[in-house]
Amino acid sequence: MSEAAQTLDGWYCLHDFRSIDWSSWKLLTNEERQEVTNEFLGLLEKWNVTENDEQGTHALYSIVGQKADFMMMILRPTMEELNDIELEFNKTKLAEFTIPTYSYVSVVELSNYLAGESNEDPYQNPHIRSRLYPKLPQAKYSCFYPMDKRRQGDDNWYMLAMDERKEMMRSHGLIGRSYAGKVKQIITGSVGFDDYEWGVTLFADDVLQFKKLVYEMRFDEVSARYGEFGSFFVGNLLSPTKLDSFFHV
């Protein structure tokens, strides 16, 4: 048996995609719509308090294309809290006007492929902690997709020796690092939690950098030979100031 990579696991993560039932939404009066929006803003305010207490983080993006109208990405220390948040949202008035279109459950993951030898407890290392328990950036754009590593015939990632995987991950990391300052990535592991093995969430202030990075990685062996991808979701930051116009009809 090949050696399994060791992972460090951080906050649990829910990507919750919703479409809006605009026809029903339009039937409300302005006052009713304002009330529904205010209730949702109240929920966001609660999430902000949690974020300021460093007990979680969240981001809201308006999704382009027909797969969804918006995405809520929420990170919390426990699976229970994610569940509570999902339930709390589902009980809001706004939820009555949304249609769930996709969701993804995972946990922030760092693997040891590129980690050096060390005797320290990684969970006490401030740099590692900032990645396991991140504050999501308010980047202008976000891109999410789930992915697997192939297990097919001769192309089976899980049959490769640790050293081979390390070498390929090194090359992967080098490409990734050349996008430092342009794209921030959060890898979340989802084996046992959802249909794919990882969720990839990218943040950038220049949306084109997603295409450039993902395209460049397609030529790198670990993606070219072993990457299998689910649906891609791309969106624009739905900042609090944009929410009013987003819901306005």
Residue 172 marked as a ligand binder: yes
- In the block, residue with structure tokens 């918006």: 70
Residue 24 marked as a ligand binder: no
Please give the structure tokens belonging to residue 122: 């990684």
Residue 185 marked as a ligand binder: yes
Residue 137 marked as a ligand binder: no
Q: Which is nearer to ligand 76R, 13 or 110 (CB)?
A: 110
Q: Which is nearer to ligand 76R, 21 or 167 (CB)?
A: 167
Coil, strand or helix at 116: coil
Q: Which is nearer to ligand 76R, 48 or 185 (CB)?
A: 185
- In the block, residue with structure tokens 């049959």: 159
Please give the structure tokens belonging to residue 136: 């999501």
Active site residues: 145
How many of the other CB atoms lie within 10 Å of CB of 85?
A: 21
Least distance to ligand 76R from the beta carbon of 131, Å?
7
Please give the structure tokens belonging to residue 71: 């995405």
Least distance to ligand 76R from the beta carbon of 216, Å?
9
> What is the distance between the alpha carbons of residues 239 and 241, in angstroms, rounded to a whole number?
5
Binding site for ligand 76R (CB under 6 A): 5, 110-111, 113-114, 147, 149, 169, 172-173, 176-177, 179-180, 183, 185, 187, 198, 200, 213-214, 217, 223, 227
Coil, strand or helix at 186: strand
Closest CA to 92 of 18, 12, 14, 11: 18
Least distance to ligand 76R from the beta carbon of 236, Å?
19
Residues making up the binding site for Fe-coproporphyrin III: 131, 145-149, 172, 185, 223
